[in-house]
C-alpha cells in the first residue's frame, strides 16, 4: 500500500473518505455519505471489498448502510461501541487486519479522547487517524480527559516521522490560524500556511501530511517545545507542569477563543 493507491473522496462539508485500491479492488475509510463513494467507485471501476471505521460520529459512519446494500456481505471493521452502527467486525488495540484484495496489512491503535472508543488504522507507512490528529490541529475532546487525549497524541507522535497522516477532515488552513497564535514567529508555520493556501486555491487537498511536518508545526504535538509551553503558560497566567497540562490549555484556548 502506498500513497499512489490512496485517494480522497470529498464528502459532506469538509470530510475526506479515503479510498485504498489495487487492481480494481477497494476499501474505504469512514464513509459518512454513500453517494460520493458510489460515484467514485463507478468512475474508477472499483469493487468495494471492505470498510474501515475510526469512530462512531455520523460523518464517519452514515454511509455504511447504503454501501452494504450495494455491496452485500463486505466486512465493516470498526470500534467496539454500540453507537458505531453498521460495524460488523469489532476490533481493538493491537488487532491486525490483513486483506488480499486490495492488499492491506494494518494494525489497530486504540486512541481515546475525541471519543472513548476511537481507533486508528496504521500500516505500510500510512495512518488513518480519523478525528484524533488533524493537519496542524487535533480533534475536540468530547469523551475522556485531556490527559487521555494527550496520551493518544503522544502515541501518534512516536510513529516514524515519514508516516503519512490521512486525517478525516480538511481543516488545515483554519488550524494554521490558531497554530500561528501559539507560535507567531515560526518560519515553518509561515511556509506551511503559504503552501496550504496555494493548494486550496487550486482546489487540492492539503492532506495527507507527514508526521515530521506535524511535529514541526502542529501545536498539539509540540507541548514539550519551549515556545509552545511558554505561550500556553502566558495564556493560562500560571506555570504548566506537564505536557498534558500544556495540551489542555491549548485545547481549551482554541475551543473557547478561536473556533
Ligand atoms: Zn468525530
Ligand atoms: Fe469527523
Q: Which long-range contacts (CB under 8 A, 24 or more apart) does 103-111 make?
A: 103/1, 103/22, 104/1, 104/20, 104/27, 105/1, 106/52, 109/155, 109/156, 111/152, 111/155, 111/156
Distance 60 CA to ligand 2 centre (A): 6
Residues assigned a catalytic role: 55, 57, 59-60, 114, 131, 169
> Residues 165, 171: contact at Cβ < 8 Å?
no
How far is the C-alpha of 25 from the C-alpha of 102, rounded, in Å? 5
Give which of 59, 62, 58, 98 is closest to 77, Cα–Cα.
98
Q: What is the mean pLDDT of residues 111-130?
A: 98
Question: pTM of whole model > 0.85?
Answer: yes
**Alpha-carbon distance values, 29 to 3, 5, 10, 159, 197 (Å):** 14, 13, 12, 20, 26
How confident is the model at residue 2, as a pLDDT? 54
Distance 58 CA to ligand 2 centre (A): 8
C-alpha cell at 238: 500560571
Distance 10 CA to ligand 2 centre (A): 13
How confident is the model at residue 162, as a pLDDT? 98
Which bound ligand lies closest to the C-alpha atom of 17? 2
How confident is the model at residue 1, as a pLDDT? 56
**Alpha-carbon distance values, 41 to 48, 68, 136, 149, 192 (Å):** 7, 14, 30, 35, 32
State whether residue 249 is helix, strand or coil.
helix
pLDDT per residue over 81-117, tens digit each? Answer: 999 999 999 999 999 999 999 999 999 999 999 999 9
Q: What is the mean pLDDT of residues 71-85?
A: 97
How confident is the model at residue 220, as a pLDDT? 98
Give which of 235, 150, 174 is closest to 249, Cα–Cα.
235
pLDDT per residue over 3-37, tens digit each? Answer: 569 999 999 999 999 999 999 999 999 999 999 99
How confident is the model at residue 179, as a pLDDT? 98
Distance 239 CA to ligand 2 centre (A): 33
Q: Which superfamily, per CATH, for 3-258?
A: Ribonuclease Z/Hydroxyacylglutathione hydrolase-like (3.60.15.10)
Which bound ligand lies closest to the C-alpha atom of 140? 1
**% of the chain exceeding 70 in pLDDT:** 98
How confident is the model at residue 33, as a pLDDT? 98
Distance 85 CA to ligand 1 centre (A): 14
Distance 32 CA to ligand 2 centre (A): 9
Distance 185 CA to ligand 1 centre (A): 31
Q: Which helix (H) or strand (E) holds 178?
A: helix 172-182
Q: Is 71 left (phi over 0), alpha (psi -120 to 50) or beta?
A: beta
pLDDT per residue over 176-217, tens digit each? Answer: 999 999 999 999 999 999 999 999 999 999 999 999 999 999
**Alpha-carbon distance values, 170 to 6, 10, 37, 55, 255 (Å):** 16, 9, 17, 17, 18
Which bound ligand lies closest to the C-alpha atom of 57? 1
Residues forming beta bridges with residue 100, ordered by sequence position? none
pLDDT per residue over 129-176, tens digit each? Answer: 999 999 999 999 999 999 999 999 999 999 999 999 999 999 999 999
**Boundaries of every domain in the chain:** 3-258
How confident is the model at residue 227, as a pLDDT? 98
How confident is the model at residue 250, as a pLDDT? 98
Give which of 163, 205, 192 is closest to 7, Cα–Cα.
205
Cα end-to-end distance, the chain, whole Å: 36
State whether residue 15 is helix, strand or coil.
strand
CB neighbourhood size of 87 (10 A): 22
Amino acid at each position: 500500500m502506498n500513497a499512489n493507491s490512496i485517494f480522497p473522496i470529498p464528502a459532506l462539508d469538509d470530510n475526506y473518505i479515503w479510498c485504498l485500491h489495487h487492481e480494481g479492488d477497494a476499501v474505504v475509510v469512514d464513509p459518512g455519505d454513500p453517494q460520493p463513494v458510489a460515484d467514485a467507485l463507478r468512475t474508477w471501476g472499483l469493487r468495494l471489498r471492505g470498510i474501515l471505521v475510526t469512530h462512531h460520529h455520523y460523518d464517519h459512519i452514515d454511509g455504511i448502510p447504503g454501501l452494504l446494500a450495494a455491496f452485500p456481505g463486505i466486512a465493516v471493521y470498526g470500534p467496539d461501541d454500540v453507537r458505531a452502527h453498521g460495524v460488523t467486525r469489532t476490533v481493538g488495540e493491537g488487532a491486525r487486519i490483513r486483506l488480499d484484495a486490495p492488499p492491506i496489512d494494518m494494525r489497530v491503535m486504540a486512541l481515546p479522547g475525541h471519543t472513548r472508543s476511537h481507533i486508528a488504522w496504521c500500516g505500510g507507512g500510512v495512518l488513518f487517524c480519523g478525528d484524533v490528529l488533524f493537519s496542524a490541529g487535533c480533534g475536540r475532546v468530547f469523551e475522556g480527559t485531556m490527559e487521555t487525549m494527550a496520551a493518544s497524541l503522544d502515541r501518534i507522535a512516536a510513529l516514524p516521522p515519514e508516516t503519512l497522516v490521512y486525517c478525516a477532515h480538511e481543516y488545515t488552513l483554519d488550524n494554521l490560524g490558531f497554530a500561528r497564535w501559539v507560535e507567531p514567529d515560526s518560519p515553518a508555520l509561515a511556509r506551511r500556511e503559504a503552501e496550504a493556501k496555494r493548494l486550496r486555491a487550486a482546489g487540492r487537498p492539503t492532506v495527507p501530511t507527514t508526521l515530521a511536518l506535524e511535529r514541526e508545526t502542529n501545536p498539539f504535538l509540540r507541548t514539550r517545545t519551549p515556545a509552545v509551553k511558554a505561550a500556553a503558560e502566558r495564556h493560562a497566567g500560571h506555570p504548566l507542569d506537564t505536557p498534558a497540562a500544556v495540551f489542555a490549555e491549548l485545547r481549551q484556548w482554541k475551543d473557547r477563543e478561536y473556533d
